Amino acid sequence: MQDVLGGRYKIIRKIGGGGMAIVYLAEDIFLNRQVAVKVLREEYVEDPEFIRHFRKEAKSIAALNHPNIVNIYDFDASADPAYLVMEFVEGMSVKQIVEEEGSIPWEQAADIGIQVARGLAEAHRHHIVHKDVKSHNILVEHTGMVKITDFGIAQMLSSTTITHNKGILGSAHYFSPEQARGERVDEKSDIYSLGIVLYEMLCGQVPFTGDNPVTVALKHIQEKPIPPQSITQDVPEAMEAIVLKCLQKDKNLRFQDMTEVAEALEAVRETGVAAPAYHQPVDFLAPEPAVDPLNDTLALPRNLTQKHGEVEANQVSEGKASKKNRWPKGKKKRLTNFLILVLVLLAAFGTLKIAQSFAGGGDIEVPSVVGFSYADAEEIMDQEGLRIREIDSEYSDEVEKGAIISQDPIAGKKVKKGRLVGVVISRGPEKLTVPKLTGKTEDEARALLEDADLELGEVKSAYDSSIEAGQIISQSPSPGKKVDKNTAVRITVSLGKKPEYVTVPDVRGMKLSDAKAALSEKGLVVAATNEEESSNDSKGRIIGQSLEPGSQVEKQTSLTLTIGTGKHSSSTTGVNVTFDVPENGVVVVTQTDANGGETMLYRGVHQEGEHFSKMYNAPSGSTITASINGKNISQTVAE
């Protein structure tokens, strides 16, 4: 199975499947929404007649626009595999609700029935008969909105038969009698099937059951359902009357159309009483003549007759048909032929059972095909008289792509000849999507990769004028790429804008305005100035600067200038600051006066082992402190 279909629908996970297709939850990467994608099974993809029907029906259903019908967004019958894209409905099917709750309160069942009837009425207006209405295909959202899905086997009303060359039909539990007889079906068939669903919601069970679809289909033709009130007293008489009217064997006695069904259900929901036109007594328990085997022919689809070819004797009603004067002469002959056919079938069935007992039909030991390719497994099973079919596919780190992960029944189990063995095929190691890391910090990237079952690989650093320092500039593999689990993703983290270095000019001897201009030209900033007694020749000029002339510093570095004041009458003392530089770093010399005011006298970069020696004139009582990288080296008090 491809990860992305049609370059647009990204498969997320499998959410269901049936005999015709597998359904996946997918993301429409163009419109950023979740969709359901139905992918045709391989055996139907190779059938041109089926594909023709598929294309025709998809176009017809896509034209439907009704709130109670699942929307068809897209389809591609020529793709490999062919697929249909539908609206994704979050909720449960009516079948799931019944299985969990046992039954559904009649008010809620009526509401569901109304919405289904309205949706099917819209389809019927477009000459589309569903033909597979069942509780599995009716979805109920958390809001109570009902959606009908899986019109997949519906055909245009101009079709003359209910089957095509693959014999695809819905479950026999929901057949209308005319479907079971192989007659052409119309909207009335959907009304019957909806009656089955209503019955199932109210009673918690379908009206007709049996060991196989043949038995069930015969009951749809021959037997009458037990009235819902005989199963549960909670069903109003009017609601029961609607259900039984839908389930009339004669389609002409059912509701005329789905709009009538909806209106009848609405009347019951609002008042608890059906509208007079629909509240007609129906005696389903009254005895009726046995079914005429000549007129009520059972024409089951091939996929049912092949699987359940045997028909038990009690499935054919003899009853009044055996009376001497029951049939006219022409019919007697046809009846005789029919009974001969039944006896032949029963004899064949008995012969088959005897042959199976001699052949040890239940003694075939299922071989192990785990680890084999599907083709090899099919050959192994064929040699043992068994069949094989893919029922699912999963990612696997241990089993190579295309090989079988598991099987059911398991190896060693005794089964009958011809038994179908389901297998799960490996899709190989799961390919994971690399998340977008650019713009994130290293810690954020590490967390994202851990959540995605990936690892953080090599971390590099680089200057970038447009990306803030600490944020990720680039990654490899790139975002969105599919990789194996635990793949290491390399990242490059920004150091910010690359710094620009300049040479500090010597501004000593300049006037303050000239010094500022010279420093500004280099991209340096005068942060502060202070004054210091000097010779009268140096009065008003720069006699000191905190950055060492000729040193390399970053642009926009600030410095302090010292301006000479000439000779003062007040007492000052020369302080000699001298030491060996203990480590690489920035040396700063400050002066703190008696009032606590601090002035920077010097700032410069020095290497470990250099000898530092400078003389400063400081007012008596002030303190001269030298430090490197913020750590004090020496401290001297001017006398």
Active site residues: 132
DSSP code for 291: P
Which among 549, 546, 542, 561 has a CA at the least distance from the CA of 504? 549
Q: What is the DSSP letter of 365?
A: E
- In sequence order, the 6+-apart residues with CB closer than 8 A to the CB of 398 are none
Distance CA 95, CA 113 (A): 14
- CA–CA separation, 569 vs 522, rounded Å? 38
How many angstroms separate the CA atoms of 564 and 536, rounded?
Answer: 8
Is the distance from CB of 435 to CB of 424 less than 8 angstroms? Answer: no
What dihedral do alpha carbons 93, 98, 99, 101 form, nearest 10°? 120
Instruction: Please count the CA atoms within 13 angstroms of the CA of 162 that sit on its side-chain side.
Output: 25
271-300 b/e (C-beta count within 10 Å ≥ 16 → b): eeebeeebbeebebeeeeebbebeebebeb
Cβ-count burial of 160 within 10 angstroms (0-12 exposed, 13-18 middle, 19+ buried)?
A: exposed
- Nearest residue to 217 via CA among 167, 173, 162: 173
- Maximum separation of any 2 CA atoms in the chain, in Å: 154
Sheet holding 623-628, edge to edge: 598-606, 585-592, 623-628, 631-637
Q: Alpha carbon 532 to chain centroid distance?
A: 77
In single-letter form, the type of residue at position 124 comes to H
Q: How many CA atoms lie within 13 A of 632 on its CB side?
A: 7
Q: Integer distance in angstroms from the first to the last C-alpha of the chain?
A: 90
φ, ψ dihedrals at 98, nearest 5°: -65, -40
Give the bridge partners for 602, in sequence order: 589
- CA 499-501-502 angle, to 5 degrees, is 150
- What angle is formed at CA 166 by the lines to CA 44 and CA 308, rounded to 5 degrees? 125
Strand arrangement of the beta sheet that strand 146-148 belongs to: 91-93, 138-141, 146-148
Residue 259, SS3 per DSSP: helix
Tell me the three state secondary structure of residue 609.
Answer: coil
* DSSP collapsed to 3 states, 18-48: CCCEEEEEEEECCCCEEEEEEEECHHHHCCH
**Which region holds residue 163: left if phi is over 0, alpha if psi is between -120 and 50, else beta?**
beta
Report the distance separating Cα 601 and Cα 605, nearest Å.
Answer: 14
Q: Annotated binding residue at 431?
A: no
Name the binding residues: 38
Name the binding residues for ATP: 38
